Amino acid sequence: MSTSVLAAGTVGNPVANIAIFALFVAVTMVVVIRASRNNSTASDYFTGGRGFSGPQNGIAIAGDYLSAASFLGIAGAIAVYGYDGFLYSIGFLVAWLVALLLVAEMLRNTGKFTMADVLSFRLRERPVRTAAALSTLTVSLFYLLAQMAGAGGLVALLLDIDSRAGQSLVIAVVGVLMIVYVLVGGMKGTTWVQIIKAVLLITGAAVMTVIVLAKFSFDISGLLGSAQEMISGSTNEIVANRDVLAPGAQYGGSETSKLNFLSLGLALVLGTAGLPHVLMRFYTVPTAREARRSVVWAIALIGAFYLFTLVLGYGAAAIVGPDRILAAAGGQNSAAPLLAFELGGVLLLGIISAVAFATILAVVAGLTITASASFAHDIYASVLKRGKADEQAQVRVSRITAVVIGVLAIGLGILANGQNIAFLVALAFAVAAAANLPTIVYSLFWKRFNTTGALWSMYGGLISTIVLIVFSPAVSGNKTAMLPNLDFDWFPLSNPGIVSIPLAFVLGIAGTLLGGGRPEDPEKAVEMEVRSLTGVGAEKAVAH
């Protein structure tokens, strides 16, 4: 087995990569099985018994949030485009202030299992829950699909599997493992997978960062200079002309691409606090104060991680060079793995590869439990059974849903393998920002907000975002689109947030005013306000 960098693009030793990944699966499986012993109630299954501490949950949030896209994607974007990749990570980080200041604690105080619990607290339950569940399922599915499709490319790069059938098999293995984690472990098991993965990912990135900095005698300016030198020396003229130390290499071209970037920035900063799988994590802690501590830990870890990726990205440009990165299987996504191989040989590459796989596994598990909880708790129990389904039935329905979602994810992941659907993650953020965040903020802070406003805002945000993306250049009309042979891209931006997010905020106000301009249940509104700020009557941790 070759352990050198092959011209064809694979690196390292696939057997070592698989062995380290198998070790990760074995360890996490033991932890999941041990953690699931006490999974008896619905609260255990959906929220891990609300027994995680703030720091534990903060680490798990980081594990949930730092997807393969943000690890491989951002490091790769910085290595090839420079500064514009860094701009991405800033949006992902600053977004957490919205969660910290406006959402986390009040959500913990008023909700039970899902985002819809908070939204429907003082509004008409069935229509609002239906809308919230639809947007939860949409966001989760887009996000899930992007992760699963990304797994195919990762397989090609790290395991040296080129055949479609081989890649499909690995996607299926990832999907089956994820289903097992969710079925056996519930939220508790999923959380532990995320904690272990976050520790490995952040430690791995930190170690690589120190090695890179040491190579440049801790001279950041020197590192940046070498990165620019390698870029300028690229044999590809377009790459060689880039100034990677300043913005504009990726988005600076036309007015449209500048506007596109602005739109993306808006979706990133407002989307995080509306992502259902992020919101659900706030229910795994016993109190609002612990929810606050979780966000603080998450901000510290995620911030540190993005600073590491900045060094790793420029480090990959300086040490590996853009030509080798772009020639590798997986293109710019291979920047971090190639750098790991360059710095620490087969072992470090194996660890980083295993962590990248673990990342996909942990993120899809988090998405699956969120989507299946929303279906069971919001659609099945509240809408179909009109509140008459007991919690055991909800857990049962949720488990079945998790299997369905898992199978769906495997199928769609295999179909989407190799497709250009990277825009789906940005789309998930745009839907979360447009369909969820306005209603969350209004229902927590605006007394007059009512059901009409919520429905206008949620459906308006959801539909406008999806319609605009369907008619955008991301889907049709050019070579890099999802459907390159068709042409119906009348909307110029591939990031619809700049239109759909303000629209959803305005629709929330317009709907509320047209719907009478006052809450339909003043008593509930008062109760929600008192509960959200004081924690009276908040769901308790399960004591075992």
Partner 1 sequence: MTTDLDRTPTPRVPGAEEFARAQASPEFQDLRNRLRRFVFPMTALFLVWYLAYVLLGAYAHDFMATRLFGNINVGLVLGLAQFLTTFAITAAYVRFANRELDPRAAALRADLEGARA
- Which residues sit at the interface with partner 1, rule CB under 8 A? 40-41, 83-84, 86-87, 90-91, 93-94, 96-98, 100-102, 105, 220-222, 224-225, 228, 243, 245-248, 251-252, 258-259, 261-262, 265-266, 269, 289, 292, 295-296, 299-300, 303, 306-307, 445, 523, 526-527, 529-531, 533-537, 540, 542-544
Residue 91 in tokens: 């949006």
Q: Kindly tell me which of 323 and 529 has the beta carbon lying closer to partner 1.
A: 529
- Find the shortest distance in angstroms from Cβ 350 to partner 1: 31
Q: Kindly tell me which of 31 and 102 has the beta carbon lying closer to partner 1.
A: 102
Alpha-carbon span 179 to 210, nearest angstrom: 36
- Find the shortest distance in angstroms from Cβ 6 to partner 1: 33
CA dihedral (527, 530, 536, 540) in degrees, to 10, reads 80
- Find the shortest distance in angstroms from Cβ 285 to partner 1: 15
Q: Kindly tell me which of 101 and 467 has the beta carbon lying closer to partner 1.
A: 101
Reduced 3-state DSSP string for 179-223: HHHHHHHHHHHHHHHHHHHHHHHHHHHHHHHHHHHHHCCCCHHHH
Alpha-carbon span 49 to 40, nearest angstrom: 9
| N-term to C-term CA, the chain | 51
Half-sphere exposure (CA, 13 Å, Cβ side) for 479?
Answer: 0
Q: Kindly tell me which of 252 and 345 has the beta carbon lying closer to partner 1.
A: 252
- Find the shortest distance in angstroms from Cβ 526 to partner 1: 5
Q: Kindly tell me which of 126 and 531 has the beta carbon lying closer to partner 1.
A: 531
According to DSSP, the residues that pair with 483 across neighbouring strands are 476
User: Phi and psi dihedrals of 285, rounded to 5?
Assistant: -110, 155
Q: Which residue matches tokens 């977004």?
A: 95
Q: Kindly tell me which of 162 and 229 has the beta carbon lying closer to partner 1.
A: 229
Q: Which residue matches tokens 């059901």?
A: 451
Q: DSSP label at 321?
A: -
Alpha-carbon span 43 to 173, nearest angstrom: 29
Residue 255 in tokens: 């007015």
- Find the shortest distance in angstroms from Cβ 450 to partner 1: 18
The greatest distance separating any two alpha carbons of the chain, rounded to the nearest whole angstrom, comes to 72
- Find the shortest distance in angstroms from Cβ 16 to partner 1: 35
Q: Kindly tell me which of 375 and 429 has the beta carbon lying closer to partner 1.
A: 429
**List of residues 6+ apart from 258 with CB closer than 8 A:** 251, 252
- Find the shortest distance in angstroms from Cβ 473 to partner 1: 18
- Find the shortest distance in angstroms from Cβ 543 to partner 1: 4
Q: Kindly tell me which of 300 and 393 has the beta carbon lying closer to partner 1.
A: 300
- Find the shortest distance in angstroms from Cβ 76 to partner 1: 18
Alpha helix locations (H) across 272-334?
Answer: 276-281, 288-319, 322-327
Q: Kindly tell me which of 99 and 503 has the beta carbon lying closer to partner 1.
A: 99
Dihedral angle sign, alpha carbons of residues 457, 91, 136, 284: negative
